[in-house]
Structure 1
Amino acid sequence: MNCREGCGACCIAPSISTPLPGMPNGKPAGERCLHLSVDYLCGLFGQPQRPAVCGEFKADIEVCGTDREEAINLIGWWEQMTAA
């Protein structure tokens, strides 16, 4: 599955534990990343400052569902199920 352009759920729902520009402590789950544009595109895409975890994310129907709302809910659920 390819990412849906303009979705951005993976930039909102999960936590990011590594620092990123402007967010030295990472990003909490459910909080919009500073680098997510109004068009729901990553401002760090293709940049060396983009966290590895973001670059390694692979879209999958089980994680992303059929639309942004479902993706936010599914990714949020996965976040809760895998929280230590």
Structure 2
Amino acid sequence: MWFFASAALAPRRYTVPMSSTLSCRLGCAACCIAPSISSPIPGMPDGKPAGVACVQLDAQLGCRLFGSPQRPAVCGSLRPSLEMCGASREQALTMLTTLERATQP
């Protein structure tokens, strides 16, 4: 987060740089539910539709393929960030669903 030494220079809200990153939230799995994945996933040979939970999520909403070579490259490329994840699981689901809709062909 950026903070300003002078109140005169500060905007009304604090500013978060676009490169802000977070750690994954336990039990979130928004990135395993909201977006579509076009590449095959073990158990989902045709990929994963948007809004459908990946079959590789376990009961605690963790990825069974994490660290495995079977994990799709797109999953490994996702990095939690404030822009993608927001401040809660609900915000993450909303933000990722909005992004999915905006990028549909």
Q: TM-score range by the shorter chain?
A: over 0.9
Hey, which bits of structure 1, 4+ residues long, moved more than 3 A?
A: none
Does residue 46 of the first structure (1) align with residue 67 of the second (2)?
yes
Q: Partners of 2:24 and 2:104 in 1: how far apart?
A: 24
> 1:67 corresponds to which residue?
88
Alignment of 1:6-17 (within 5 A): 6-17=27-38
> 1:4 corresponds to which residue?
25
Q: Which has the higher contact order (CA 8 A, sep 6+)?
A: 1
1:48 positional shift: 0.6
Q: Which has the larger radius of gyration?
A: 2
> 1:29 corresponds to which residue?
50
SS at match of 1:3: coil
> 2:17 corresponds to which residue?
none
Q: TM-score, normalised by structure 2?
A: 0.77
User: How many residues are paired up?
Assistant: 84
Structure with the higher fraction of residues in helix conformation: 1
Q: TM-score, normalised by structure 1?
A: 0.96
Residue identity over aligned pairs, in percent, reads 54
